[in-house]
Amino acid sequence: MLHATTLIVSLILFSAVVISVLVARPVITATRGGKILAFVAMFCLPIFCGLLGVSKEMARSKSTTFCLSCHTMDEYGKSLYVDDPSHLPASHFQNHRVPADEACYSCHTNYAMFGGLRVKLYGLKHVAIYYLGTPPAPENIKLYGPYNNRECLHCHLGARSFEEGAVHNADPATMPAIKSNQLSCLSSGCHEIAHDLAHLKDAKFWKAGN
């Protein structure tokens, strides 16, 4: 990842140097070759560099370290290390049921059409609130809407542990209700413990992961 950043930054700086030369000596663009060089340097290269940069920034904005770089998220980051298998985010993170380096994004993205773009816009809103507004206390942060089972089913649908799970099949109405999002995976008595900041100070933590 660092190597890719170095390459992109090098290309950007190379483009900047070439454009600077053209700005300092516009006479270069008088010839046909100079015009082509100017077009490549001032149109093709900046667009190419911009696309590479956007792609890199988008990938970086999915990383767990990116999400946890805001202090408001510290407690949420700590909750990933709770030593309790019933603690949903912790068990997913520690057992790599989601990629550990994209843990937040994997569960909090939106797996619908343009969902990735929507969560990026939410992210920009969060940054604006963080720097320009009053960020809420960590325990007061709420989702924009009820957690949609679609996000869980993106991975679990078709998985044997889910499809053949005893509790999921105890009542014939349960599975269709889960799949149609009428019965939340996070319902009381199911997988209800998510982050649980209120009890974090009393929790036992997984040491190996730190």
Q: Which is nearer to other proteins, 7 or 157 (CB)?
A: 7
Q: Which is nearer to other proteins, 19 or 186 (CB)?
A: 19
Could you tell me the smallest distance in angstroms from the CB atom of residue 192 to other proteins?
30
Interacting residue ranges for other proteins, rule: CB under 8 A = 5, 8-9, 12-13, 15-16, 19-20, 22-23, 26, 29, 38-39, 42-43, 46-47, 49-50, 53-54, 56-57, 60-61, 66, 69-70, 123-124, 126-128, 130-131
Q: Which is nearer to other proteins, 1 or 170 (CB)?
A: 1
Could you tell me the smallest distance in angstroms from the CB atom of residue 69 to other proteins?
6
Could you tell me the smallest distance in angstroms from the CB atom of residue 126 to other proteins?
8
Could you tell me the smallest distance in angstroms from the CB atom of residue 115 to other proteins?
18
Q: Which is nearer to other proteins, 56 or 118 (CB)?
A: 56
Could you tell me the smallest distance in angstroms from the CB atom of residue 110 to other proteins?
19
Give the HSE-up count for residue 33: Cα atoms under 13 Å, Cβ half-sphere. Answer: 1
Q: Which is nearer to other proteins, 11 or 190 (CB)?
A: 11
